[in-house]
Chains A and B, each alone.
Chain A
């Protein structure tokens, strides 16, 4: 199995050292603060529903654009202004997966949500964040199949 993208592994290593809920929350909020919604040059509202992440109640959308080197640039938006967890997850995926080898992106397991957000995340929230990851993985798999 392929390794995970280097930046994702770096985040996973960071979170594996976290021991308190407060540390975890503070780190995730700091990451969410870095979230950049999709620029208007890529997509404008109302977004094409084909980009909606099904199962994410924070109304997340994902776009994947091809790079010349065969990797992908990922863009995200989260329409729910209270969707902070989805923004944090999107920021991680953007930093980790844009430009990363496709086989590494395709190898990401949705279970990493629990490394980032902890096991006591609500089931609804866990499902939505996992679907966000699945949407990115799906795009990588589609490119690998067509390669």
Chain B
């Protein structure tokens, strides 16, 4: 039994090890995708054969605060050479924070054949595995993308309001200081213009990074269950919404709750605090 298979996850197939990836570098049914916050990392050295998906330039609409649309996703998929049958293996910096964000966006287009490499870029590098600056030559594919489906795993402001009014489960994954309203931004990050500090009424505070070990790998199911079940009392059968500042950190928690703990209905509220904390008429708690 592999290390990942022994951790008790609800859906262990959504997570692969660095060994697993290293054994499949020439597997044409896979596409390895690096997604980072730092744009210098991929060009400075990446897993052989990996392509880059940049969270700003590739996943977001340049003019509206929204994700790319059907045609944009089809173009992205074509550029990175995938078909709907391709298994996309995401990895990246910051304990796979940005990799889970990219995976979440891919799942908005129903590309669910996607996994995360546990430990991300840091683990691969620290194991002394090969990194190359050589960009792979990709043959563009034709990808018939569906319309983006925002109904299943994405939450919007009005839906979040109804959810809170019904005492639904809500997880605030920001830092404790952001949750309390002491700070309007993450430690080390700038003020982003939120008018008020605090959290959405009824939310429980679990910073996203609590789900990760120091080496960037995910904690095992028992450790995660102790946090999300025992400590804050989430019921896996009930609808749950996760949020942060702009929806990136909460995609990590979305991945944990959905795939590692098997919650039935988890949505990521990407409007998050930069929308909620500025919206007229919405209640907050401190």
Contacts and interface: CB of A to CB of B under 8 A. Distances in A.
Interface of A: 21-22, 25-26, 28-29, 32, 55-57, 81-85, 88, 117, 120-128
B125 interface: yes
Nearest to A88: B40
For B40, B43, B57, B186, the residue with the greatest tally of chain A CB atoms inside 10 Å of its CB is B40
Given A25-B43, A120-B57, A85 B38 contact: yes
Contact of B188 (A82, A120, A121, A124): A124
A28 B57 contact: no
Contact of B41 (A22, A82, A122, A128): A82
B93 A82 contact: yes
A84 B38 contact: yes
Contacts of A28: 40
A58 B39 CA distance: 14
B51 to A, nearest CB: 14
A82 B39 contact: no
Nearest to B38: A85
Contacts of A128: 188
A29 B39 contact: no
Interface in B260-282: none
Interface of B: 37-41, 43-44, 56-57, 93, 121-122, 125-126, 186, 188-190, 192
Contacts, number: 56
For A32, A82, A85, the residue with the greatest tally of chain B CB atoms inside 10 Å of its CB is A82
Contact of A125 (B37, B121, B125, B186): B37
Contact of A21 (B44, B57, B122): B57
Contacts of A56: 188
B189 A124 contact: yes
Q: Is the interface of A mostly helix, strand, loop or mixed?
A: helix
25 contacts: A21-B39, A25-B39, A26-B43, A28-B40, A32-B44, A56-B188, A57-B188, A81-B125, A82-B93, A82-B122, A84-B40, A84-B41, A84-B44, A85-B38, A85-B39, A85-B40, A117-B39, A120-B56, A120-B57, A122-B38, A124-B37, A124-B186, A124-B188, A127-B189, A127-B190
A25 B189 contact: no
Nearest to B186: A124
Given A120-B56, A120-B57, A32 B40 contact: yes
A87 to B, nearest CB: 9
A133 to B, nearest CB: 14
Contacts of A117: 39
A121 B43 CA distance: 15
B98 to A, nearest CB: 9
Contacts of A124: 37, 186, 188-190
A25 B43 CA distance: 7
B46 to A, nearest CB: 12
B281 to A, nearest CB: 27
Nearest to B56: A120
B190 A82 contact: no
A65 B43 CA distance: 34
Contacts of B37: 122, 124-125
B117 to A, nearest CB: 15
Contacts of B38: 82-85, 122, 125
Contacts of B56: 120, 122
Contacts of A88: 40
Contacts of A126: 190
